A and B are shown apart, each in its own frame.
Chain A
Amino acid sequence: MPLAVVAVSVQQPVSSDHQLARLLQIGVVLEEVVEARAGEHARTMEVDDPELEALLAEAAEESAGHREQLEDLIDDLEADTIPFEEIKGLVRAQYESEADFDGVLYDQLCNEETAYKFYDDLIAAIEDSDAALSVDRAQLIETLSSIREEEAEGVEEVTELMEKRE
């Protein structure tokens, strides 16, 4: 077995409500980054491309939906979430315009793949954890799994569009 897939971690990352809330906050920020970057791409793009614009709008809408689901979970853990306006400002401050189709699409692919990887690792960490959590574990995993599924579909959609334009 390759070493990279050894599941044992030095520390268990989900050993309390606090740590779970922190990871969900990171999920919220990732979704906010996706949403804000999609918005920046759409705002600054120099090409007129309705298909790509529709993809970006859909990605932003999907991220907003995921963010709300994560925020509900964070709320159940009695933790705070991160205001979207704050992240939007940070994204805008460091954003470097992707003027062409390939750049925008590649960034979108990274967004979807990264989000998928994050949820996949988070679900595995929750499943590995034997900590007592104050949220319903089955419900938590179900919610995260459905978000992960949508991220996988997102990867497929972007890949299909990339292949179509080759």
Chain B
Amino acid sequence: MNLLEVQHLKKYYATHKAVDDISFNIAQGSIFGLLGPNGAGKTTLLRMITGIFHPDSGDILLNGKPFDPMMDLQYIGYMPEERGLYKKMMVGEQVLYLAQLKGLDKKTAQAKIKYWFDKFELHSWANKKVDELSKGMQQKVQFISTILHEPKLLILDEPFSGLDPINSNLIKQEIFHLSEKGTTIIFSTHRMEQVEEICDHIMLVNKGHKILDGSVKQIRQDFKQGLFRIGVGVIPNPAQMATWHFTIVKVEDHAYVLKRNPDSTTNDILLHFINQEIPVTYFEEILPSINEVFISQVQRTETLAAPQPA
């Protein structure tokens, strides 16, 4: 069941196409990574999903029904990349205010605020003005105000920027926790290690176009290049390594990175080592990191987009 379906979404500005015909689906309860270099159109895309911008064309379906900002905004929680809070407002009042604007009644909101402030150890700060808080604290306040109304769709734009590892981890655990409880999460970032760790599904955009989307596992499989790492107990002499089954990409300490010949199998490689009586300590496939896929795909589309010499 898809919580969100986006079909042929377009948003053009006078000078450029910010989002040019992007379609994707997000399954209920999944964590969806939206990746792309700066200026790829991520923020515009998110702003359309949050009802801030109207698309020029295309459809957004939430729970199978057309997205209606009047009705559906309360089901969405959005934490923009550029954090914003009223600086002169008290922390507690501010969170209450934002929660009430999302349709929570005062009592429910206050109970939830107590729960989250306990959890994030913010109670002593509730009556302080926002600008008296450290940046990391403000970030936590912002996060709480985004999730307090228990959105069905949570949109986080760079949620970890500016957080120390401890608070990063705290928020990360909350993201997992919310996901387990069924919240669908869109996670926009360009920090790839977090994507692999957190996301089930990713979509890569550049210059307003979708470059690829799929599950993290699937994408790494799709872009693997037949690389393997083999550990050896004894360092063989170079003559022993000569075979047409693979080429050596890199020599490491008691290990080799090999590129398999497309016509050979992994067993051919292992057989070669066995025949040469080289003791094998381990053998593993090297899958590309999302970071590598990201860089290679962005570069590929850039060169495709560049005018070809005649």
**A and B interact:** no
- Chain B contact residues, CB within 8 Å of chain A: none
